[in-house]
Structure 1
Amino acid sequence: MCDVEPRKYAYIPLLLNPVFPGEPSAASILLEMHHQLSLETSPRVRKRQPCKVQGCGQISIRYGLCSGHGGRYVCKMDGCDKLVTKEGVCTAHGGRYYCIVQGCTKQRLKSGLCFAHGGVSYCSVPGCNKTRQKRGLCKSHGGVAYCKIEGCSKVSNAKGLCRDHGGVTYCRSPGCQNLTQRGGLCRKHGGFSYCQVPTCNKGSIKGGFCRAHGHDHDGNATSPR
């Protein structure tokens, strides 16, 4: 405070002494001094810097790195390395946003709606009514991500890798080595949901229905597109 306070009154000599012709006016000098003082005393504005990994053009998030290179915010639960979605936790640990339709407890996907209520995006190829996966395309039209191992043409499953190259995730239940099915859990520990049709005991695939009843549901329902 001692260093800044005297500078507030540095304009007094300018008011007492006239400015000679050809020199800047007292008003312009005062404005410049005020601008410089505000820059020194105001908090610095954080600028978004690009990722420091050479050749990467993504915006850095943390530690000077983008999400893909390790600068991401991860779930605060011990042992979980999934991305944060809400309130510091991932989707599997409760960081979910639910459908805005009254009475619906499903996770929202788009425009505040779940899959069943129209919260889906379709393939950008004209005439295709399949849901898009990546780059605005469905799987049939190339909307898939491939394994990042050089020379591998298989579809990635997790962490940018196919199953053969380690792209698998295991159940988060302590001591379990089974592969995850849903919510970070294997089928044995609850990572499984059944078809919504009361008489069906098959697992749900999309929209809460199994493969057989999902086609029937899509055919009877009015497309939200």
Structure 2
Amino acid sequence: GGKKFCAYHGCVKGRLIGGHCAQHGGGKRCSPPDCNKLAGVFGKCLAHGGWRKCSVPGCTAGRAVQSKGRCGSHGGGTRCSEDGCSKVPTWKGKCLQHGGRIICSTDGCFKTVTARDGKCFDHDGRQQCTYPTCRKRLRDTDRCPEHRQRTGCSHSGCTNQAQPKSDRCSEHSGVRQCSTPGCGQRATHRTGLYAEHRGITLCSHPGCTRHPKSSKGFCSQHGRGKQCLYPGCTARADFTHVCAEHGATPCSHPNCTRMAYVKDKCNLHGARRCKHEGCEKQAKLRGLCIAHGGVRNCSQEGCTKRAERGGNCIKH
């Protein structure tokens, strides 16, 4: 009498046709031979027409069919209860025009509620900008940032506007600027220099202006493995110090230009495949891909979530 689970080892999802859940091959599949998706209406998936079409000739609404074999544009679905109205109801069976909305609780106000306290925008108690025709909300001043009148910088001879809650502009507010002549940027280091003027060591690869990420002096792009020794080539090299185009063994898979690493094939075509029937994904653990259980589960008893660090999931 209890819930029947998927027959796949360790899976706690409910079983479908075939004794497995949808993820592990259960359920009715789409009728085309080359499609393995779950079937919907007419024994087909959504991509192959497994949805009901609107009965009105020439209508292509497709999945928008709501009721009576028609989409919402042609009479399908519920309508406003007001006589002669064909609009979609929004509240208590009526559209917005005929009362399908919550009215402000303030006496004499018939505007729509916009706040949690049952009030409209004008009666929710929050202060608005004092500038004429402006309806923006305020926090700590009498005007919004757009209409707030800033004073001029108090520094002698400066015509810039002062920063908010300050009597000086950004240039004279005490923030250090780069000491390099002609540079007006803010100093971002204790040396008093802007980032570009601190003399940072650049990537050792010729012509690269990125910062090094490894102890070898290369950036993240040029520090992953060896590079081809062929002049002007920046592709990744194998143990012979050349790439597939300039002498390395290419992958034997048809139309593949990658280098061979495993049994005359690249990592993409030579890696182990998931042993689950019909799956062509790369195996990660116990001969299975991630979708079919090739991951380590949380070590806590009764938890089936994926382990992240220390053998436990994020929650534990």
Q: TM-score, normalised by structure 1?
A: 0.26
Q: TM-score, normalised by structure 2?
A: 0.20
Q: Determine which structure has the larger helix proportion and give its number.
A: 1
Higher RCO, 1 or 2 (CA under 8 Å, sep at least 6)?
1
- Structure of larger gyration radius: 2
